[in-house]
Structure 1
């Protein structure tokens, strides 16, 4: 018999040692508790799917959802674990609003576990992340409230501030929690009246959440009991008991019976207390709730032991032992706990796989970034080299242009000096002096503009007039000339190519007009038509055909080189400045002799 009892007690204490948190997760036929377990299982399954899909956004949402389910179930440790995982995911996704919300939830779970240092830190972080000033203030109030744990009077102001702020934000659940905090703060200040008022205000905001209502009403009953107002406390518990029976909320019914028993013991109504405990014990057995059966049985045995009624204790134990196997089989919370453990193990495995996938993706991305960076670097290098080559090419063209422009000067200088020599040889000192004076002025102007690709029209006309004056002085009897500028052209603001026109004037004089028996005429016109400037050099000289017949070999070579020089310079100007400059030389047809040179370029008002 003793051996039989020893085995029974061992089994009994094995049941008593089942963790309260794990066993109480779900109860058969109790809709609220079963619903909680279903929600937790559903959230865990959805989390597994999102991990398998490696969808970071859904992973974060399901971590948070699972954490909230644990929080609603009173499992703060698990809630904290999954809130931290959700926070990591939201941080990766750089979702500040979600990070703020989850950080605050994390702080609450830590506060519930009395881990105040971590809770304060996370309330402050949530405040710093908050975009809304009101939300920032709410979090900082909670942080300051916890910092003043030893000073309930200081806490009061922070709680009241949060109540008003949360009301404006219309966050009913948080208003409920804030009023509960105010009630607890009032109890610390020994103000039970304000505590009960605060709990009642919390009930108004918790009306849509039956579980919160039950919890708050139980807290009100405790305050009445502490104030020795046992009848009021009993009335509250009896109403809760009646509602639980109506709703078939067996878990609440058991707990209300246990609470009533405690109150009856305090009122010295032992019979009523024992009756309530036995009802709670029997109901726990019927509904397979081993945790509550343990609690009720422990209270009964404790009472009988204090009264020395060992016979009654043994009778309860024998009843428990006889129904032990049935209780274990009917307690589905053990199966639910094991099922969830399997799911959680699967979640851990999927998390490891996700970590490996992320590492592979990270390495792949690193390689891709390196590759892209290398390509960009090569492109930049290529661009730099291309720009350098382009710059060198442009510079070379500018040098070539300057070289071609300077190539025209020696011949002009030679001809001019030859003219001076001719005047001197003919003892025409006055003409020689006059020529040298004009020549020096012209050369000064040419030197000043020698490094410019474009000069203003007024300077070009001035320079060309001085040149024609010189040539006219030398060939006085051979030609007259005129320069006409279109009135619509602003000579000071319009630019023309430098040293492009002069060589053609020189050709007209030297290879056309000077061979005439009578005096010839040279016309230089600047016309503006259809947005373009048309420069026309018109002479009535001997013409291109006759000129070629009279030229020496050296003259032909020079003329050919002069034309090529002009073409090359125009090509270079077009490449460098994109001005689309063109020129054409033609011989007059019919009885009239002479040559026409036409140079066309767009209106240029800035370089």
Structure 2
């Protein structure tokens, strides 16, 4: 079950955040960033009036926005649309500019063949010799992509040409190319210098400066200079905190975590990641929240900490709706309304996705429900079997308890007959009265597994009185109850003791030449009740020699009955009742029976 839930959570986590956000926000009249929104509205207006020039400029502006956001595929798409419009209008200068921009997006996507072609086209369209040279240098640079050393001259040439043209943005890009080229040549020192020069030309663009400083930190990290890399990230983090730039704070915390992992300081890394995740969740940045969560989960899974992974999934899903609703960054450029067809397409995609999710959820619910039903059925069957087994044990216990001792009844009736034949009507009447009282008590308590000690002692007293009335010249008896035992609250097993008293009298004491003694004791020992039945009869060995075969069978059945009942009581009530019988050692004669069970004050 836990595995099924983990798979469902992980699947939800893998759903692209952008798509989910669009679906959840499709019914809301939210718009992209203010600049993107203005461009979109301008595009809609230009399409309405069919202003080709304005349409082209809006497409180009839209493409540049996608390029700034790092969405090169979308940027390429809208640069191509702008290029088509500028081509229709035969605006060569605009066409040259857009063709070069198109080549850059293709280079970013490593589509080098298309990029080379468009750099060459841009060069051929350029009216300025310097601009032509710049584009051809880029084309040649990409042709020698497999040979970084040969690229250096083209990059250096472009840097000088672009400086003369005062194109600071492209000078920055050229220095970045030089830094990347130097890294391929394993020259990290030049790479860092190039990034620093790029920063000088990008000083009026804070976001780009931050990215360049992060690149420098990566170079230091790749050279195992972690302290320098960490210092850069910590400084950028402090600046971001001062400016309340939460997006930068999140990214710097992520970078610090990556550095700490490489430095083999996972505890610090986890602190940074958790801080980044909390900040992203708090500020409604679902993309970075997801990315940070993935890193945390990846680490916990590597460490085998599935429990922490599932806890993170649960937390993410619980806050998912709130996170989506507060995340304005999820309203991306795919949401702008170019045509009603685009909107219909998005609505169709949403409908299909919802249908797919519904089917998936229905299947998952059905699967989970089936497992639960099977589990409940299994538990019901187990419970039923256990109940039947327990009931059978209770029936067996009652059956054993109600199994009357035919020998006792037979001997009792013989005693009455003997008293009558000897004209001892008083003794016969007394015996019958005591016998009927004892039988009534035994019948009343026959359905109870445990009875109060006080009633058990009373019942045993009546039984011993009966036996003493018959064999008064053979034995005397005494019943002792420990003063520490509360006879009115302590429970004892019902009808377990009597058979052993009967054995002591009939197979031990009645064969003595002198008067014997039977002592029944109830003691509290180590928190348990100890019952001792001690006699000074002829003992087990001699008793076996004198018994008839019928008597042996009878005694064996009595002992087995007792053992079976004790076994059933232990199974049903878990009371750990024990039973032992032993013969006294010479010169003493007689038998000692011990029954031990816990102190029971309630059933």
State the 1:323 CA deviation: 2.1
TM-score under structure 2 length normalisation: 0.53
Distance 2:192 2:298 in 1: 32
Tell me the residue number matched to 2:78: 82
Does 2:39 match 1:57?
Answer: no
Q: Does 1:262 align with 2:250?
A: no
**Partner in structure 2 of residue 132 of structure 1:** 128
Q: Is the 8 A contact 2:337 2:343 kept in 1?
A: no
Residues 46 and 347 of structure 1: is their aligned pair in 2 closer, same or farther, counting only changes over 3 Å? farther
1:99 is aligned to: 95
CA shift in 2, pair 1:250/1:307, >3 Å: same
CA distance in 2, matches of 1:332, 1:46: 21
1:246-325 → structure 2 map (5 Å cutoff): 246-325=242-321
Asked if 2 retains the 8 angstrom alpha-carbon contact of 1:40 and 1:70, the reply is: no
Offset of residue 296 of structure 1:
1.2
How is 1:580-595 mapped onto 2 (pairs within 5 angstroms)?
Answer: none
The corresponding residue for 1:145 is 141
Match of 1:44 in 2: 40
Counterpart CA distance in 1 for 2:343 and 2:296 is: 45
1:176 is the counterpart of 2:172: yes
Q: Deviations over 1:355-395 (max 9, x none)?
A: xxxxxxxxxxxxxxxxxxxxxxxxxxxxxxxxxxxxxxxxx
Which residue in the other structure is 2:107 paired with?
111
SS in 1 for 2:338: helix
Tell me which residue corresponds to 1:190. 186
CA–CA separation in structure 1 for the residues paired with 2:69 and 2:31: 10
Q: Determine whether 1:72 maps to 2:68.
A: yes
1-structure distance, mates of 2:341, 2:173: 32
Provide the TM-score with structure 1 as the length reference: 0.53
User: How big is each residue's C-alpha offset from its partner over 1:69-99, in whole Å with a ceiling of 9 and x where there is no partner?
Assistant: 1111111111111111111111111111111
Q: 1:90 to 1:348 in 2, by over 3 A?
A: farther
**Larger-Rg structure:** 1
User: Does the 8 A contact of 2:31 with 2:37 survive in 1?
Assistant: no
Structure 1 residue 279: Cα displacement:
0.4
Report the equivalent of 2:152: 156
1:473 maps to which residue? none
| Aligned residue pairs, count | 338
Alignment of 1:283-432 (within 5 A): 283-334=279-330, 336-337=331-332, 340-341=334-335, 343-346=337-340
CA distance in 1, matches of 2:19, 2:72: 10
Aligned 8 A contact 1:15 1:290 in 2: no
Q: How big is the shift at 1:203?
A: 0.2
CA shift at 1:43, angstroms? 0.8
* Structure 1 residue 245: Cα displacement: 1.4
Asked if 2 retains the 8 angstrom alpha-carbon contact of 1:64 and 1:82, the reply is: yes
- 1:16 aligns to what? 14
Secondary structure, counterpart of 2:339 in structure 1: helix
For the structure 1 residues 38 and 242, does the alpha-carbon distance in structure 2 shift closer, same or farther, using more than 3 Å as the test? Answer: same
Could you tell me which runs of 5 or more consecutive residues in structure 2 were left unpaired when the two chains were aligned. Answer: 345-603
Unpaired runs of 5+ residues, structure 1, are 28-33, 351-607
Q: CA deviation at 1:20?
A: 6.2
Give the superposition deviation at 1:11. 5.0
CA distance in 1, matches of 2:13, 2:329: 13
Seen in structure 2, the aligned counterparts of structure 1 residues 328 and 53 have a Cα distance that, compared at 3 Å, is: same
Q: CA deviation at 1:15?
A: 4.0
**How far apart are residue 202 of structure 1 and its match?**
0.2
Q: In 1, Cα distance between the equivalents of 2:296 and 2:17?
A: 20
Q: Tell me the secondary structure at the aligned position of residue 16 of structure 2.
A: coil
Partner-residue secondary structure (3-state), 1:344: coil
Correspondence list, 1:390-539, <5 A: none
1:323-362: CA deviation from partner (whole Å, max 9, x where unpaired): 233223323344x24x853513348699xxxxxxxxxxxx
Is the 2:40–2:336 contact (alpha carbons within 8 Å) kept by the matching residues of 1?
no
**Cα 1:42/1:258, change in 2 over 3 Å:** same
Closer/same/farther in 2, CA of residues 150 and 9 from structure 1, 3 Å limit? same
- Taking the aligned partners of 1:155 and 1:21, their CA distance within structure 2 comes to 40
Report the 3-state secondary structure (helix = DSSP H, G, I; strand = E; otherwise coil) of the residue aligned with 2:284.
coil
Contact 2:286 2:327 in 1 (8 A): yes
